[in-house]
């Protein structure tokens, strides 16, 4: 399923707009804040070429009503070494075109 979503789970408006505009072949850098414990944070970055964007249904929420539909916006990137990586957009994602 390949779609360009019109909305995204990213809270950053600029990242949301850019995600909706991405096309295969675009080069992007993704920054993500990872919280460890109650106070430590790491910032990770990855860059690559967009392979596709998706809105993927998932079941990350345990014991939800079967009618609840939960989706995440997914970005599939090809890194310079040919590795494919998948990034899930969330409120901590910073997306920029390079």
Boundaries of every domain in the chain: 13-97
> Edge-to-edge strands of the sheet including 27-36?
84-88, 70-78, 40-58, 27-36, 93-97
pLDDT at 6 over 80: no
Dihedral angle, C-alpha 80, 3, 5, 50, nearest 10 °: 10
**Angle CA(82)–CA(23)–CA(14) in degrees, nearest 5?**
105
Q: Are strands 93-97 and 27-36 parallel, antiparallel or unpaired?
A: antiparallel
pLDDT at 13 over 90: no
Q: What is the pLDDT of residues 51-90, one digit of tens each?
A: 999 998 876 666 666 667 778 899 999 999 999 999 989 8
Q: Please give the mean pLDDT across all residues of the chain.
A: 83
Q: State the architecture of 13-97 in CATH terms.
A: Roll (2.30)
Supply the pTM of this predicted model.
0.75
**For range 18-28, the mean pLDDT:** 95
**For range 40-60, the mean pLDDT:** 89
């Amino acid at each position: 399923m390949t779609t360009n979503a019109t909305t995204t789970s990213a809270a950053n408006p600029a990242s949301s707009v850019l995600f909706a505009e991405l096309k295969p072949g675009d080069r992007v850098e993704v920054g993500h804040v990872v919280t460890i414990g109650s106070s430590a944070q790491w910032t990770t970055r990855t860059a690559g070429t967009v392979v596709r964007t998706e809105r993927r249904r998932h079941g990350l929420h345990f014991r939800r009503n079967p009618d609840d539909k939960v989706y995440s916006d997914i970005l599939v990137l090809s890194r310079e070494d040919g590795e494919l990586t998948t990034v899930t957009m969330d409120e901590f994602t910073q997306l920029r075109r390079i």
